[in-house]
């Protein structure tokens, strides 16, 4: 465990509650200004974009309503390859880009597309890197741009995105959800996260052959991010899958084979939770060799101090996958901070992607 505890990955996972707490008051002020700006601009549609983990933030955010504003998650990887079907030159559009580094190939290409072909669209850039293109590059306009630069502590040094993912998610949510006291919410989540991490640190969970994560609504995006965390940190040695709770029965359930760990995120909404609990019981009955773990409110295998608001609670659910993935990486004798150091085929920041010119 000493090796694990000295890694950037482990420290960055455990730093999250303190990061959220320290960021709370500043975020409350900035997000209030941005919500006012969004209303003043008459925004009717928001696209949340990013690549990989940054894209999965959008999947969670777009799972619920934001008043009369239409929300959609469109990865930058889709925008760059198919801009004519993903963007429009509309002053009622706000494109929110997430980026830990803020400098990936698709991030830069999306900025180029907005400047050249969709200049009326407004932009909100949320990044962990104060020196990145997302942070410092101006928009050509006439669409306006706002930037939220997260605390430097969120600019993860490790390969896997952990504190960057959760803090960007919370920051964006604060900018679109005017129904909560942002500072108080982050304080509540910080306390709940400390308790969850303390329990997870003491609970054994040996690495399986496969890991599957399931969730409903906002937690479907969390399931996807959880599957990626395990896949990345174990360098594919633990194969993963993810799906929605109800969608899993329609074919993907075939992925439960032998030593499979199935994690079911139980939604805080009571109605939705019925479906989550049903699939957890069904898998346990049909696949006795599998291990089923439920995560959610009281009565779950990992009980969390939930707020009852699924998009905000998302940052609590993902802690299990972050900690297990780091542990399993250590058990497999991998370099936890860079599992692909000997292969060189995956890198912390994606660059070198061939970007083809777009003619609108």
Q: Are 2-182 and 187-331 equal in CATH topology?
A: yes
- 49-58, 59-68, 245-254, 259-268: the lowest-pLDDT one: 59-68
pLDDT at 190: 98
pLDDT at 184: 98
Q: Identify the CA nearest to 102 among candidates 42, 179, 143, 155.
A: 155
Q: What is the rounded average pLDDT of the residues 161-179?
A: 97
pLDDT at 340: 87
Is the pLDDT score of 65 beyond 90? no
What's the pLDDT band for 350 if we cut at 50, 70, 90?
A: low
Q: Identify the CA nearest to 260 among candidates 211, 303, 296.
A: 211
Is the pLDDT score of 347 beyond 90? no
| Prediction pTM value | 0.95
C-alpha distances out from residue 152 to 145, 149, 172, 323, 330, Å:
21, 8, 17, 22, 26
DSSP 284-347: HHH-TTSEEEEEESTTSSEE----S-HHHHHHHHHHHHHHHHHHHHHHTT--TT-TTTTT-SS-
Is the pLDDT score of 348 beyond 70? no
pLDDT at 322: 98
Q: How far apart (Å, rounded) are the C-alpha atoms in residues 258 and 132?
A: 45
Q: Note the CATH number of domain 187-331.
A: 3.40.50.10490
pLDDT tens digits for range 288-326: 999 999 999 999 999 999 999 999 999 999 999 999 999
Say what percent of the chain tops pLDDT 90: 90
Q: What is the rounded average pLDDT of the residues 61-85?
A: 94
pLDDT at 204: 86
CATH architecture of 2-182: 3-Layer(aba) Sandwich (3.40)
How would you classify residue 344: left for phi > 0, otherwise alpha for psi between -120 and 50, otherwise beta?
A: left
Which residue in the block uniquely carries the two structure tokens 């995956």?
A: 346
Report whether 43 contacts 73 (CB < 8 A): no
pLDDT at 353: 82
C-alpha distances out from residue 91 to 118, 124, 161, 257, 278, Å:
9, 13, 32, 50, 45
Alpha helices in the chain (DSSP H): 2-5, 8-14, 16-40, 53-61, 76-81, 83-86, 105-117, 133-136, 163-176, 182-202, 218-233, 270-286, 310-331
pLDDT tens digits for range 208-248: 999 999 999 999 999 999 999 999 999 999 999 999 999 99
Where exactly are the structural domains of the chain?
Answer: 2-182, 187-331
DSSP β-bridge partners for residue 148: 126
pLDDT tens digits for range 320-329: 999 999 999 9
Q: What is the rounded average pLDDT of the residues 250-273?
A: 97
Q: What is the rounded average pLDDT of the residues 36-57?
A: 97
pLDDT at 1: 46
Is the pLDDT score of 82 beyond 50? yes
């Amino acid at each position: 465990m000493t090796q694990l505890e000295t890694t950037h990955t482990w420290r960055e996972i455990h730093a999250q509650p303190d990061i959220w707490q320290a960021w709370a008051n500043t975020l409350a002020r900035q997000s209030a200004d941005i919500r006012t700006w969004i209303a003043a601009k008459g925004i009717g549609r928001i696209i949340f974009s990013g690549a990989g983990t940054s894209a999965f933030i959008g999947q969670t955010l777009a799972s619920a309503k934001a008043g009369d504003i239409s929300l959609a998650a469109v990865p930058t990887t889709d925008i760059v390859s198919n801009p004519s079907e993903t963007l429009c030159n509309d002053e009622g559009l706000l494109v929110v880009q997430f980026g830990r580094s803020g400098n990936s190939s698709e991030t830069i290409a999306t900025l180029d597309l907005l400047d050249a072909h969709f200049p009326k669209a407004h932009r909100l850039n949320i990044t962990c890197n104060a020196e990145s293109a997302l942070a410092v590059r101006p928009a050509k306009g006439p669409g306006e741009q706002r930037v939220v630069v997260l605390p430097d502590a969120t600019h993860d040094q490790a390969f896997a995105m952990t504190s960057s993912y959760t803090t960007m998610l919370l920051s964006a949510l604060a900018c679109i959800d005017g129904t909560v006291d942002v500072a108080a919410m982050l304080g509540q989540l910080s306390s709940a996260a400390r308790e969850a991490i303390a329990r997870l640190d003491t609970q054994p969970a040996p690495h399986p052959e496969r890991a599957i994560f399931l969730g409903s609504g906002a937690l479907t995006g969390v399931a996807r991010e959880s599957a990626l965390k395990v896949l990345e940190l174990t360098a594919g040695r633990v194969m993963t899958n993810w799906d929605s709770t109800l969608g899993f029965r329609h074919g993907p359930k075939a992925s439960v084979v032998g030593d499979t760990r199935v994690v079911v995120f139980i939604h805080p909404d009571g109605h939705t939770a019925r479906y989550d609990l049903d699939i957890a019981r069904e898998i346990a009955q049909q696949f006795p060799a599998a291990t089923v773990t439920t995560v959610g409110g009281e009565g779950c295998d990992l009980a969390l101090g939930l707020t009852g608001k699924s998009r905000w609670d998302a940052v609590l659910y993902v802690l299990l996958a972050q900690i297990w993935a780091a542990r399993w990486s250590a058990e497999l004798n991998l370099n936890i901070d860079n599992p692909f150091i000997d292969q060189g085929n995956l890198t912390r920041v994606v660059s070198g992607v061939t970007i083809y010119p777009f003619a609108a």
